[in-house]
């Protein structure tokens, strides 16, 4: 087992297996960088995207629904498959529930997600039921109309379980997504729409099934302790179990800050990619995040690289360069 505390990874690490991990330290400034072409297929993973509240107000004031992604779209577009956690419903309907912070984005925000090139978005998170079943149903529909696959939620349990299948070059990639942060009333059942809520035995069976359909299996998980830079033991137990069941990549969200990355057995785990687009301006850590770039070769993971990102105070995300 190899474990890295991400902020300490300031140099390129060459591993005996030929897998490379890089994470330059955050800088005060950031600039837009061009996409880096790859001859091999690439997958890209980013953190939490929230397009409601102050982010939504900023886009509306500018009448620019691509605003948050303007400094990074060339990077996200360059991946064969780009993935994120969608930390908001997208709807004009619904009734606010008992959430302390409730997120519902203007449907015009889909313009930015599409322009940035996102292909798969997880809806398995604690905000997907903020405005109830109507807003949830609208979110799934809006994503589908814009040719973005939703994973971790659906009209039935079978749909919520997935997997969502994508192709990167000649590599078949299966995506699964889970959360353990919602009440049972928001969880999908055989007869009811909802989110894919975590069950250990079912997750293992889902991964085994996906393993038979794909060359690379990705599990997204929404859990952990908010604002903590290191993962907790619940995360570790679940994420290790996912790799033990056959996952190649486990991507964590929810803490809103970047957490450590680990090579565990044959898999790679990023416990949290932090925020990608959010309005948590109260700390430096919540206005920084990371993207994970995965290069594929011979229908397997060949290399992984963490790329730091920073958010401006007006909610525009950019890659950090030294």
CA distance 106 to 83: 21
What pLDDT, on a 0 to 100 scale, did the predictor assign at position 5? 53
Query: 104-105 and 89-90: which strand pairing?
Result: parallel
For residue 161, give both structure tokens. 């379980």
Q: Write the burial class of residue 90 (CB in 10 Å: 0-12 exposed, 13-18 middle, 19+ buried).
A: buried
Q: Decide if pLDDT at 301 tops 70.
A: yes
Q: Decide if pLDDT at 101 tops 50.
A: yes
**pTM for this predicted structure:** 0.90
For residue 291, give both structure tokens. 């993207």
What pLDDT, on a 0 to 100 scale, did the predictor assign at position 315? 98
What pLDDT, on a 0 to 100 scale, did the predictor assign at position 64? 98
What pLDDT, on a 0 to 100 scale, did the predictor assign at position 39? 83
Q: Contact at 8 Å (CB) between 183 and 311?
A: no
Domain regions of the chain by residue span: 2-319
CA distance 148 to 142: 9
What pLDDT, on a 0 to 100 scale, did the predictor assign at position 15? 27
Fold category of 2-319 in CATH: Purple Acid Phosphatase; chain A, domain 2 (3.60.21)
Peptide bond between residue 71 and the one before it cis (omega within 30 degrees of 0): no
Q: Give me the residue label for tokens 């690289």.
A: 305
CA distance 88 to 49: 8
SS3 (DSSP) at 313: coil
Nearest alpha carbon to residue 69 among 121, 115, 120: 115
CA distance 208 to 200: 12
CA distance 176 to 49: 18
Under the banding of pLDDT at 50, 70 and 90, the label for residue 22 is very low
| Mean pLDDT of the region 198-224 | 98
Q: Decide if pLDDT at 34 tops 80.
A: no
Q: Give me the residue label for tokens 């290191």.
A: 230
For residue 68, give both structure tokens. 């948050």
CA distance 244 to 238: 10
Question: Lowest mean pLDDT: which of 12-21, 26-35, 157-166?
Answer: 12-21
Q: Decide if pLDDT at 41 tops 60.
A: yes
What pLDDT, on a 0 to 100 scale, did the predictor assign at position 2? 54
Q: In whole angstroms, what separates CA 66 from the centre of its chain?
A: 19
CA distance 288 to 135: 29
| Mean pLDDT of the region 304-318 | 97
Q: Decide if pLDDT at 26 tops 90.
A: no
CA distance 101 to 174: 32
Distances (CA, A) of 294 to 18, 205, 277, 283, 315: 13, 25, 21, 29, 26
């Amino acid at each position: 087992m190899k474990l890295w505390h991400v902020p300490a990874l300031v140099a390129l690490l060459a591993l005996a297996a030929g897998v490379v991990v890089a994470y330059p330290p955050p800088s005060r400034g950031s600039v837009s960088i061009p996409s880096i072409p790859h001859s091999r297929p690439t997958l890209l993973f980013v953190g939490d995207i929230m397009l409601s509240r102050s982010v939504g107000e900023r886009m509306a004031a500018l009448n620019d629904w691509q605003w948050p992604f303007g400094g990074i779209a060339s990077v996200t577009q360059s991946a064969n498959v780009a993935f994120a956690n969608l930390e908001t419903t997208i709807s004009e309907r619904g009734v606010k529930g008992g959430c302390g912070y409730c997120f519902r984005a203007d449907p015009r925000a889909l313009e930015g997600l599409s322009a940035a090139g996102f292909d798969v978005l997880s809806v398995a998170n604690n905000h997907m039921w903020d405005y109830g079943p109507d807003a949830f149903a609208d979110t799934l529909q809006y994503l589908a109309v814009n040719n973005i696959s939703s994973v971790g939620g659906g009209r039935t349990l079978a749909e919520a379980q997935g997997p969502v299948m994508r192709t990167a070059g000649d590599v078949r990639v299966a995506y699964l997504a889970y959360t353990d942060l919602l009440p049972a009333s928001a969880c999908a059942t055989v007869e009811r729409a909802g989110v894919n809520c975590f069950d250990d035995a079912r997750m293992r069976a889902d991964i085994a099934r996906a393993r038979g359909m794909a060359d690379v299996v990705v599990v997204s998980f929404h859990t952990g302790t908010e604002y903590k830079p290191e993962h907790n033991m619940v995360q570790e137990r679940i994420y290790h179990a996912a790799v033990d069941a056959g996952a190649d990549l486990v991507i964590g969200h929810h803490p809103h800050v970047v957490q450590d990355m680990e090579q565990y057995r044959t898999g790679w785990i990023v416990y949290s990619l932090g925020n990608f687009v959010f309005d948590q301006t109260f700390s430096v850590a919540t206005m920084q995040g990371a993207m994970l770039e995965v290069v594929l070769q011979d229908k397997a993971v060949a290399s992984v690289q963490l790329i730091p990102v920073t958010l401006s105070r007006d909610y525009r995300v950019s890659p950090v360069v030294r």
